[in-house]
Each structure stands twice: as structure tokens, then as C-alpha cells.
Amino acid sequence: MPINKLFDGNIETMRQALTLRQERQGLIQSNVANRETPGYTGQDFNFAKVMQSVMSGQGELARTDKGHMQLDAMEASKTREFASEKRPVDLDQEMVKMAENQLMFQVIAKTIGKKFDSLRYAIDEGGK
Amino acid sequence: MDTLTAMQISGSALKAERARLNIAAMNLANANTTRTIEGGPYKAKSVVFAAKPLEGVNFQDTLNSTTERLRKVEVVQVSEDKAPFKEVYDPSHPDADANGVVRFPNVNVAEQMVDMMSAKRSYEANVTALDAAKSMALKALEIGR
């Protein structure tokens, strides 16, 4: 088994999910902070849709020239998914979204932890 | 963006809401003030909030479509209420005019109380948001431990 199989693609996927959750937290905080700012419109992206698009590799942009900037799949998917909702911020909704987001962040963080735990177990026990 | 960026946003909101609370407190305190430095009765004041892009964002982050959308909040102006003063007939008052009418500040106490409560709730919401960001950062530190 090649060594790179040890750290399989799941870790990279989870890293992306964690980053997305963190960025969404920033957006929600921005919404809560500006809840009474005149003219501010709430912003958010659909986590499931962005993640799905990242995992299926749809987000990737073709680079037809060496001079093109690299835009990662996540960035491209996110840009497409941004819902610029033209309505004022609803505080209750934002707080619910934040609780959900925070919980899911913890789930992913814990899962990554478990992943490393099982790796460590394999390393420790394999040497015996 | 990182967790500190998110904290910066909520921090700016805490500052702005506190300013709003201070203004409401000032209005309530001066609800009956008939003399000011500028002359005339006290004028009710209110804050104007504006959404501002973040400062100190590095180049890498400006390319990020999320960071680009984040806005902090700032008090950009303290405006004076243009509503007319309350006129009360009280000839014994030292600030009464020739007709015995005293002009009192245009502060609506009920309105100020509502504004104060609203500022308080917003403050709480932002503290909760700050707390959420903090606990997420702490959770991330636990990875691999």
C-alpha cells in the first residue's frame, strides 16, 4: 500500500468542508453585525450545494494558458452559489444558521480527529 | 479568512452598539435639559450605521469571494433629530419666553427606551456570534490531539 493512501482523499475533503464552515460563520457574523445598517443585504451560500460541486469537481476552471491564475474548485463553486438575497437580515434566522454551522463545524473537526486517531492506532500497533 | 477576521466583525458591532447605547443614555439624561452650550434646548441625537469593508486584509484574502463580501459595521455619523421642541406653558420657568412658553428637548422617552433595548439585544447577539467563532477556533485546535 503506497504511503499516500494512508492519508486518503477524505482528509482533504474534510479540510475543505471545515474551511467552508468557517467562511460561512464569517458571513453570518457579518449579517448579525449589520442587522440594523441601512441598505445592507444579508448574504450566505448553500453549504450542501457548494460542497457537492467541489466534490464532483464541477468547480474546476480550465486553464488554457500558463499565465492564467489558478482558481481552486472551492472558490469557483462558491462564487456561483452566492445568494445575494435582497432582503434585510432576520436575526432569528441568522442565529439558527449560526448554531447549525457551529455544530457542523464541531462534527467535522471531531471526525478529522478520529481519522488521525485511527491512523495513530495503526502506526502504534503495526510496530508491535 | 480566518477566525480572527470573524472576531473583528463582531468586535466592530459591539463597539457600534455600545455607541448607540451611549447616545440613547445621553438622550434620556438630557430629556429635560433646556440649556446647552450651543444655546437652546437639547436636541435628540441618533447614530448612523454603515457597513464597511474589512481593513488589513492580505492579498490572498482579497481573492477569496467570501472575505470580499464580509462587512464590519461602523458609526459614521451622529445626527440630530429635526423634530420640533416640546412647548410647555410655564411662566415661572427661568427659560420661559415672553409668552411664558418653555421649549423642552424633542426627546421621545419611549422611543429612546425601545432603542436602548434594541441596542442591548443586538449587543447580546454579537456576543453570541463572537462566542461561536471562539468555540470553533478552540475546536479546531483539538484536531489531532
Interface pTM (ipTM) of the complex?
Answer: 0.84
What share of chain B in percent tops pLDDT 70?
A: 99
Same domain, yes or no, for A2 and A65? no
CA distance B138 to chain A (A): 10
Chain A residues within an 8 Å CB radius of B126:
29, 32-33
Chain B residues within an 8 Å CB radius of A110:
139
Residues whose CB is less than 8 angstroms from the CB of residue A8 and which lie 6 or more positions away in sequence, other chains included: none
Strand pairing of B86-89 and A83-84? unpaired
Number of folded domains that form chain B: 1
Are B102 and B96 within 8 A, CB to CB?
Answer: yes
CA distance A27 to chain B (A): 6
d(CA B83, CA B106): 6
Q: How confident is the model at residue A1 (pLDDT cuts 50, 70, 90)?
A: very low
- Dihedral sign (CA A28, A46, B141, B62): negative
Give which of B130, B13, B5, B10 is closest to B57, Cα–Cα.
B5
A3-20 pLDDT per residue, tens: 566 667 788 888 889 999
Q: Highest mean pLDDT: which of A42-51, A82-91, B94-103?
A: B94-103
d(CA B125, CA B120): 9
Catalogue the long-range contacts made by A8-17 (C-beta closer than 8 Å, 24 or more residues apart): A10/A115, A11/A112, A11/A115, A13/A55, A14/A108, A14/A111, A14/A112, A14/A115, A15/A112, A16/A51, A16/A54, A16/A74, A17/A51, A17/A108
Residue A8, classed as helix, strand or coil, is: coil
- The answer, for B71 touching chain A at a CB cutoff of 8 Å, is yes
Q: Which stretches within B1-145 are classed as H helix?
A: 3-29, 59-62, 65-69, 109-141
- Dihedral sign (CA A74, A75, A79, A85): positive
Residue in A with minimal Cα distance to B135: A102
Beta-sheet strands, E only, within chain A: 43-44, 83-84
B38-70 pLDDT per residue, tens: 888 999 999 999 999 888 777 777 777 788 888
A49-62 pLDDT per residue, tens: 888 888 887 666 67
Q: Is A116 exposed, middle or buried (0-12, 13-18, 19+ CB in 10 A)?
A: middle
Same domain, yes or no, for A2 and A23? yes
Name the residue range of residue A67's domain. 46-81
Same domain, yes or no, for A33 and A96? yes
B83-112 pLDDT per residue, tens: 999 999 999 999 999 999 999 999 999 999
d(CA B121, CA B106): 25
DSSP secondary structure code for residue B76 in this structure: E
d(CA B120, CA B53): 24
Name the residue range of residue B130's domain. 3-141
d(CA A104, CA A45): 15
d(CA A60, CA A76): 7
Residue A7, classed as helix, strand or coil, is: coil
Number of folded domains that form chain A: 2
CB atoms within 10 A of CB B74: 19
- The answer, for B72 touching chain A at a CB cutoff of 8 Å, is yes
